Structure 1
């Protein structure tokens, strides 16, 4: 029982890391104009990686919930219904503050989860195969549709989001976290949830494989970009987008490196919690992860709006140095708040509301 508890703590710890990572990335995206400054580029390395980890962990959570049903048809049906209700809840919550935070990921969950429900009983092998095929198919599809459609890249605004075509195009193909190919992250999480991380050999094998995969494909991406840019200097920007590991567009090298990095971080998180679960910092980060939904919501509603109300400005109005310091301070507040809250309450504020509404 102790090992099972530590395993779950490892997932929560990784979820806490994902939340902190998204705080830094999202504050940078909104508050700072793009620059070549070293600190800006350092934070930019997290872009798409923290959010991908967040989605992978959602897949893990779905699988654990499904496994609790223990092949009981009635319990399985009930678990799936609850997941679908929660998907609807997240979809509505995410869209409710879209005007404040267009890069919201919660409303995408409204489709990730229902699609993921269809794959909960699929074997581990086929989950990986389907994920890989989705990534390949999407990467090839950019040859047939214009990824830039709907985007004003100067302001990062999706100009026709509130039209039928624009809404579904953004949701499925070229938004901040489009269902295709981001659903591959959720399937990866479902795959992880089916592994027995109590087995040390399996955990070590997964850790080594995921890290190797990340290093190899990141290296190939860097090599190809460097080599091809020397041949076609005028096409450097297009080459970097096609072969790079940035999340927009979410093409092959981004999807593979972000997936493998997420698996690696989860594996390491489980190992850390197995060894250090008694330490205060680990307990605080676990609490942060357990309140991940509330913390994601608060980092927008409180974190960003507080700056706008105090300084009367927000978008591209601050230096990267100020933004990083603010992200650190806000992260510390979130971590302490989460830990204190969990000492008194079982669920976070938004988690409690969601459970009350959806079961």
Structure 2
């Protein structure tokens, strides 16, 4: 995304987006725990699961903030034009996501949810930092409670209440199921995930190229991440929450302890309010959201600090991060062509290396990724058409 102050890309944000891309690729390829008679969560399950996709979503909010004026923010006619451009951007991203949804692949494609999040963020673009901070905090804390209340309602009212596959064009024929899946019952429920975009919007309204802001973001993110885990530990371990959820019907599976540590999207969290005390990856609880917002802030701050002094240092990451939509889509398509027996490590390494090399080549040539070029051009043309006379892009 362009910097509001310089008109150029901010390498640190692109580098963080590159980390998110490589992390999501790893979670798509590797199992989250070791094989054998005594499986244990591995690095992918304990470190990357949940955090990579959350980073991707938080950075989407940062990008929206930069698109709409950065720390100053646009108002009036310029903001209305920005909203039109973002809506077009969302429509095109959703189109790509629905195309990927037709592929036979064991990946939860995020793009349609990502696009819906863009649309849901439109009413918040004009808010000042203080008001936006209140909205972000309130949404992160309260939306899991709202989702916990609404999921049973959706499941009772809509049959089926979830798609069971990635969204695709045909799902538009069953809008109730599609909306239920996108907002409540799917892999990336928008009701909770909007908190990531609001947090990203707030971060993007800061003076991100100032060292003091970067250090504050690093320290604040670390404190938030640790505090969220500590709070969840108090609720689930010291107050007995884990024993309560383990006794529910949803938890009656042999691998529950492993799943609890690496990916709670595989379990229907029902039968107890204690589920809201967890912080497991993809649990969608307040503690989970707060923790992953914190880790996202730490990664972004570290990338900004490094690239502000040595812009070339993270070029393999920032090059890939500047064209994540193209590379993510190519990654999903490639996975759909591989046999299930393809070895995980070679598949990941050659895809990760290819993504970084392609990103660096495009950066050196001054090119945009193909999907990024189409979407940014359509978005810019829409903004220009809607902007007041005399303020159009040149």
| Distance in 2 separating the partners of 1:231 and 1:96 | 42
1:166 is aligned to: 177
| Distance in 1 separating the partners of 2:193 and 2:50 | 10
1:66 is aligned to: 68
RMSD of Structure 2 on Structure 1 (CA):
3.4
1:146 is aligned to: 152
For structure 1, the residue ranges without an aligned partner over 5 or more in a row are: none
2:260 is aligned to: none
What is the TM-score with the length of structure 1 in the denominator? Answer: 0.83
Q: Is the aligned partner of 1:85 residue 2:88?
A: yes
| Distance in 1 separating the partners of 2:111 and 2:280 | 20
Distance 1:333 1:137, change over 3 A: same
Aligned with residue 288 of structure 1, among 302, 314, 320: 320
Counterpart secondary structure, 1:67: coil
1:180 is aligned to: 191
1:203 is aligned to: 214
1:44 is aligned to: 45
1:234 is aligned to: 247
Q: Is the aligned partner of 1:190 residue 2:192?
A: no
Question: Does the 8 Å CA contact 2:29/2:344 hold for their aligned counterparts?
Answer: yes
Greater mean deviation of Cα atoms: 175-184 or 9-18? 175-184
Deviations 1:105-141 (A, max 9, x none): 1111222112222211112122222122223333223
Counterpart secondary structure, 1:346: coil
Aligned with residue 299 of structure 2, among 255, 265, 281: 265
Higher relative contact order (CA 8 A, sep 6+): 1
Question: Does the 8 Å CA contact 1:174/1:249 hold for their aligned counterparts?
Answer: no
2:236 is aligned to: 225
Structure 1 runs, 4 residues or longer, greater than 6 Å off? 32-36, 158-161
Distance 1:36 1:201, change over 3 A: farther
Distance 1:349 1:230, change over 3 A: closer
Distance 1:29 1:159, change over 3 A: farther
Aligned residues: 342
| Distance in 1 separating the partners of 2:87 and 2:73 | 19
Greater mean deviation of Cα atoms: 4-13 or 207-216? 4-13
For structure 2, the residue ranges without an aligned partner over 5 or more in a row are: 257-268, 381-394
Greater mean deviation of Cα atoms: 3-12 or 345-354? 3-12
Question: Does the 8 Å CA contact 1:17/1:289 hold for their aligned counterparts?
Answer: yes
Distance 1:27 1:230, change over 3 A: closer
| Distance in 1 separating the partners of 2:64 and 2:276 | 32
Greater mean deviation of Cα atoms: 92-101 or 166-175? 92-101
Deviations 1:288-346 (A, max 9, x none): 100111111111012x0231xxx3xx3xx56xxx3244223311111111111222242
Distance 1:33 1:99, change over 3 A: farther
Question: Does the 8 Å CA contact 2:162/2:180 hold for their aligned counterparts?
Answer: no
Deviations 1:33-70 (A, max 9, x none): 999644x5321231221111111111111111111797
Q: CA deviation at 1:182?
A: 0.5
Distance 1:182 1:36, change over 3 A: farther
Counterpart secondary structure, 2:208: coil
2:122 is aligned to: 117
Q: Is the aligned partner of 1:252 residue 2:290?
A: no
Question: Does the 8 Å CA contact 2:323/2:368 hold for their aligned counterparts?
Answer: yes
| Distance in 2 separating the partners of 1:219 and 1:325 | 37
Counterpart secondary structure, 2:69: helix
What is the TM-score with the length of structure 2 in the denominator? Answer: 0.76
| Distance in 2 separating the partners of 1:191 and 1:35 | 46
